[in-house]
């Protein structure tokens, strides 16, 4: 699945490609996944997203 657009720093908002590390190189803040939600909704039902997302990133 290619819904993941990249990673985005939660502290300073800097964006990274999805294959880089999970820590911001600028401020060492946590990176969060930046999904293309319109693509996800085209592929999955909203119920499936609700169940899966917290498990993946917590
Ligand atoms: Zn940062």
CA 25 – ligand 1 centroid, Å: 7
Could you tell me which of 31, 36, 35, 29 has the C-alpha nearest to residue 20? 31
Res 11 pLDDT > 90: yes
CA 22 – ligand 1 centroid, Å: 11
CA 9 – ligand 1 centroid, Å: 5
Hunting for tokens 């930046």 — which residue is that?
A: 34
For the chain, count helices (H), then strands (E): 2, 3
Tell me the percentage of the chain whose pLDDT exceeds 70: 69
- pTM for this structure? 0.56
- Averaged pLDDT, 24-37: 91
């Amino acid at each position: 699945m290619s819904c993941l657009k990249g990673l985005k720093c939660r502290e300073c908002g800097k964006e990274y490609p999805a294959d880089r590390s999970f820590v911001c190189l600028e401020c060492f803040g946590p990176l969060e996944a930046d999904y293309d939600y319109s693509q996800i909704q085209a592929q999955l039902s909203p119920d499936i997203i609700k169940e899966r997302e917290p498990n993946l990133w917590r």
